[in-house]
A = this chain, B = another copy of it.
Amino acid sequence: MSRRRPLHDRTCALCQLRGLCLPDHLNQDVVRSVEQVIKPHQPVARGTYLFHQGDPMTAYYFLRSGSAKSIVDDGDGRETVIGFLYPTDLIGAGSMQQQSYSNSVVTLERSAVCAVTTAHLAELWGDNEAVRDNFLSKIANRIQTERHARVRLDHTSAEQRVADFLVELSRRMDGLGRDPDDLTLTMSRYDIGSYLGLAPETISRTLRRFADAGIVAVKGKSVQLIDSDKLSAIVHSESHAR
């Protein structure tokens, strides 16, 4: 397909996502200093582990393209998906201030990845307030996201959870400048089920019910949002508990 761009092209200054990973108003000098500590990697294949739960924590990551899932091993072999990651998301924040990663991260498709070592981050941190605030914001955002995920799981029906999942994904795609009504579910139904606390069969059935109601159009991993207002309405419908 598309030719791979030479390594030196993959700099922060040229990255289309600049201003998302880094604060907008950073001047050239700072951008250059950030670049020196960010290691751009070759795009990696689907199913690649960025790091495993328990590995010594050495770096934070960003996706430049693609998507990934964050999973934890709940002791007895079973894995739980705790989040899906897209470009601009700070990866590794959940292990902040710890010696080793508290979760694993696996790519869901071919993806391009940036890494910032913790040592280098500490330097930047001390040197530049804007960078520090940007990271703090992302971390704060992470707390909010985890909390939202938690509240979502309480007291909500399968329909509400799936609707919320779609709406949230749509919002994120919008934020990345993509069509918010044309979603590609890069993760499996099993992953979605694990994330939402539902069986994969329930994901299938619920999507089908939405499709029958004319709210979405589903064709495998491709989902079109036809009536996203109704979808939002389902999310906020009387928490008729469970």
A contact set with B: CB distance below 8 Å = 72, 74-76, 78, 80, 82, 93-98, 102-103, 133, 136-137, 139-140, 142-144, 146-147, 149-151, 153-155, 194, 197, 199, 236, 238-239, 241-242
Contacts and interface: CB of A to CB of B under 8 A. Distances in A.
Given A74-B155, A94-B143, A150-B153, 8 more contacts: A76-B236, A76-B238, A80-B154, A143-B143, A146-B146, A146-B150, A153-B197, A197-B242
Contact of A72 (B151, B153, B241): B151
A69 to B, nearest CB: 14
B238 A155 contact: no
Contacts of A140: 95-98
Contacts of A78: 155, 239
A194 to B, nearest CB: 7
B74 A151 contact: yes
A234 to B, nearest CB: 13
